[in-house]
Amino acid sequence: MPRYRDLTHTARPSDAPRVVDPKNPIRTTDPGALQMLEMIKDKNIETVYDRVVAQQPQCAFGYKGICCRICIAGPCRVKKEDGPGSRGICGASAYTIVSRNIVRMIAGGAASHSEHARHVLHTAHALVDGHADDYEIKSPAKLHKLAEKLGVATLDRGDKDILRDVVEIGYADFGRYQDRPLAFLDSFMTEGRRKKFQHTNIMPRNIDGSITELIAQTAMGVDSDPVNIIFGGLKSALADLGGEYIGTNLSDVLFGIPEPIVSEANLGVINPKMVNIAVHGHNPVLSEMVVAAARAMKEEAVKVGAEGVNIVGICCTGNELLMREGVYLATSSASQEMAILTGALDAMVVDIQCIYPAVQTIAECYHTKVITTEAIMKVPSAQHIAFNTTTAMEDAKKLIKIAIEAYKHRDPKKISIPNEKHKLVAGFSVEALTEIFSKINPERPISVLTDAIQSGQLKGVCLMAGCNNLKRAQDESHITVLKELVKNDVFVISTGCSSGAFAKFGLMSPLAVDTYAGEGLKSFIQTLEAANPQLATGLPLVFHVGSCVDNSRAVDLAVAMANELGVDIPKVPFVASAPEAMHEKAVAIGSWCITMGLPTHVGSLPPVEGSDLVYGITTQIAHDVFGGNFIFEVDPVIGASKLLDALEYRTWKLGIHRQTAEKNDTAIAQGW
């Protein structure tokens, strides 16, 4: 386990309340959302914030993970320290129950991300087979790079041919039965990680099999060894990462590698003069088509009196489009209902994940049409337009038509759009960051970042990711952790609804650098800007690397830094934080972060406290084995200071290992 310089920082969380102000329904700090809540104050409209209050106090057994519902002899709860009451009916003790519950969440997360990946893969497959004429290989460069990593021949071959082989490998990764590692995972790792995963037997050979195996492993009457169960869970977590690699990389091939792009965020981007369509969920396959269709159908919108069609994003679909197309980001997950409350949203087109069933209930108070598009994602009484890659553009146009039709039924009395919107710069794929760094050092671009850390200008890198969790007010933890980190010269990259929070608050803009960045970070960003006059914009305080699937980009950066430093990832001053984790996907991501060797702060306690063993493994022993460990801390200020401590720990150790190696004229010690 790591022991930090600050002796008050232990593996245990502080005493801060787990649910802040549980009776208060004003559970957001987002200025746009606050304006909406103010607006509906007297209107008897139920939102997510009310439901959080209604759920309090939440079940303490469930919260600690000691409620077992895996078979219908249960539910069983761990009620006592000793004796029959300390075990389930079958004899499963707390550590078995807690570990089974938590790894099943990993399975859920891995299933979600890989479902996303599978959809992108199917689209690419349809494209090479000639059944998806509306799509193209937008980035041959990415395809070639990817092919090279995967060992696919590229010489004298057409792009579609190459893509066909890449897709085959992707499919194989879903269902391989030989004892060979997941190709999309294996090809991106450091040598050290690859070996670590193989030696600890958590290197997955496929995605679907790992998830299925995990469910089988944790069924009633199978595995009761918590350590074995956790290792099984970690295998699925790595399968999740493999799925993310497939998702990100193939999306880049089909839709382009993100580049720095300027846009705006928060509810103020909803334009009263336009037909407004929110695309919500996670997958770019449909929403990219919606964007294209909207451009094509401007005239039809004009015909009904609008100035055009305005696509706005919510959640990670929003992030995907923001990164590649500069589409406005209306809001993030916890405030998704707020977009409908503006009264000017004509349609909400959703794909998968993080979509509250409640959007339909709220939409019923307005003219807004909620339209589901995926076979596995339907909402009673919402419209469903089955989306097919073969007829993608046609389907997208149908959706826009519904919105244009709905526009006619807007009730002007109900329109109330907050005048809250902020400029932002997004689009920082690792390729884009590398390009920016290469203007300073063309041979070894990543050394620009690692040198700044080693010289003390920067304290390290933090990936901020994850959801909203309303145990605290929405976005408060994201914003607080970010401010603490940047003040202390941490280079922050972000994904998902963490990005959403920063964008909505205006923190993803170059303007924020002066106000919030510490001197080191400020000078670092200034140096980058000075070397990159070709960029039409300044650089932001925090670098948006994409949707939650794009957390794989953060791994790419960590791997590149490790290779640059000549060490494995556990020695790289790189940490992760999910201040408001909520989804099963966050459990999967957090778990692979640990195995990748990243200290990972989580601001909302996952259900593991019911077993000291499981808690101890995740927060302490994981560090000894893999180099990463969870830092569970609900107070965002303390959480941030623990992250800074974790960075300091690494820089300190690496520095001493370097000095020692120089003194003794040896290679650098590889321990962490």
Partner 1 sequence: MSMEEIYADAIKDPNNQPKKLLRRTYDGTTIAMTYAEILLNRAIKDFGTEQEVGYPDTAYHLPVITCLSGEKVTKLGELVPILNRMRSQIRTELTFENARLWGESTLYAAEVIETINYLRGEEPKVKPWTGFLGDPIVRKHGIKMVDWTIPGVAVILGRAKDSQAAKKIVDNLMGKGFMIFLCDEVIEQLLEVNVKIGEDYIAFPLGNFTQIIHAVNYAFRAGLAFGGIPAGERENHRDYQRRRIRAFVLSLGETDDVKLAASMGAIFMGFPTISDQVLPEDMQIPDWYVSEPDYEKIVPLAMEVRGIKLTNIEIPIPVNFGPAFEGESIRKAETYVEFGGGRSTAFELVQSVGPDEVVDGQVTVIGPEIDTVPEGSRLPLGIRIDIFGRKMQDDFEGVLERRIHYFANYGEGIWHVAQRDLCWVRISKDARAKGFLIKHLGELLLAKLKQEFPAIVDRVQVTLITDQAAVEEGLVKARERYRARDDRMRSLTDESVEDFYSCLLCQSFAPNHVCIVTPERVGLCGAVSWLDAKASFEIAPNGPNQPIPKGPAIDELKGMWQSTNDYLFKASNNTLEEVNLYTLMDKPMTSCGCFEAIMAIVPEANGLMLTTREHSGMTPCGMTFSSLAGTCGGGMQTPGFMGIGRTYLLSKKFIPADGGLSRIVWMPKELKEFLREDFIQRSIDEGLGADFIDKIADESVGTTVEEIIPFLEENGHPCFNLEPLM
Which residues, numbered 217-276, are part of the site for partner 1 (CB under 8 A)?
225-228, 231
Q: Is residue 367 close enough to count as binding partner 1 by CB under 8 A?
A: no
Segment interacting with partner 1, rule: CB under 8 A, options 274-282, 340-348, 493-501, 653-661: 653-661
- Distance of closest approach, residue 615 Cβ to partner 1, in angstroms: 10
- Angle formed by the axes of helices 584-595 and 94-128, nearest 10°: 100
In this chain, which stretch among 108-116, 164-172, 208-216, 619-627 interacts with partner 1, using CB under 8 A? 619-627
How many whole angstroms separate alpha carbon 671 and alpha carbon 623?
11
**Does 50 contact partner 1 by CB under 8 A?**
no
DSSP string of 99-148? HHHHHHHHHHHHHHHHHHHHHHHHHHHHHHTT--TT-----HHHHHHHHH
CA atoms of 542 and 424, how far apart (whole Å) = 10
Q: Which long-range contacts (CB under 8 A, 24 or more apart) does 163-171 make?
A: 163/124, 163/127, 163/128, 163/137, 163/253, 164/128, 166/124, 166/250, 166/253, 167/121, 167/124, 167/125, 167/128, 167/250, 170/117, 170/121, 170/124, 170/246, 170/250, 171/121, 171/125
Which tokens belong to 40?
A: 């509906």
Identified binder of partner 1 from the candidate list 10, 13, 135, 524, rule CB under 8 A? 10
Q: If binding is defined by CB under 8 A, does position 668 make contact with partner 1?
A: yes
For partner 1, the closer of residues 122 and 658 by Cβ is: 658
**672 binding partner 1? (CB under 8 A):** yes
With H, G, I as helix, E, B as strand and everything else as coil, classify residue 665: coil
At closest approach, how far in Å is the CB of 12 from partner 1? 9
Does residue 648 bind partner 1 (CB under 8 A)?
no
Among the listed residues 588, 617, 634, 647, the single contact to partner 1 using CB under 8 A: 617
Does 612 bind partner 1 (CB under 8 A)? Our answer is yes
**Comparison of 24 and 228: residue with beta carbon closer to partner 1:** 228
Residue of the chain from 537, 625, 637, 648 that contacts partner 1 (CB under 8 A): 625
Q: Which of 44, 199, 376, 455 binds partner 1 (CB under 8 A)?
A: 199
Q: Is 454 in the site for partner 1 (CB under 8 A)?
A: no
Residue 12 or 69 having the CB closest to partner 1:
12
Handedness of CA 239, 240, 241, 245 (dihedral sign): positive
Sign (positive/negative) of CA torsion 159, 495, 335, 589?
positive
Dihedral sign from CA coordinates of 596, 517, 312, 303: negative
- Binding segment for partner 1 (CB under 8 A), chosen from 116-124, 275-283, 303-311, 613-621, is 613-621
- Contact between 669 and partner 1 by CB under 8 A: the answer reads yes
Instruction: Tell me the backbone φ, ψ of residue 580, rounded to 5 degrees.
Output: -130, 45
Minimum distance, C-beta of residue 556 to partner 1, in the bound complex (Å): 25
Task: Work out which of 24, 58, 86, 198 binds partner 1, going by CB under 8 A.
Answer: 198
CA distances from residue 429 to 192, 432, 445, 517, 556 in whole angstroms, order as listed: 24, 5, 14, 22, 10
Kindly state the smallest distance separating residue 667's Cβ from partner 1, in Å.
Answer: 6
Q: Does 7 bind partner 1 (CB under 8 A)?
A: yes
Residue of the chain from 613, 631, 638, 644 that contacts partner 1 (CB under 8 A): 613
CB count within 10 Å of CB 515 equals 12
Give the strand pairing for 422-426 and 261-265.
antiparallel
Per CB under 8 A, residues contacting partner 1 are 1-3, 5, 7, 10-11, 81, 95, 195, 198-201, 225-228, 231, 612-613, 616-617, 620-621, 624-625, 652-653, 656-657, 659-661, 664, 666-672
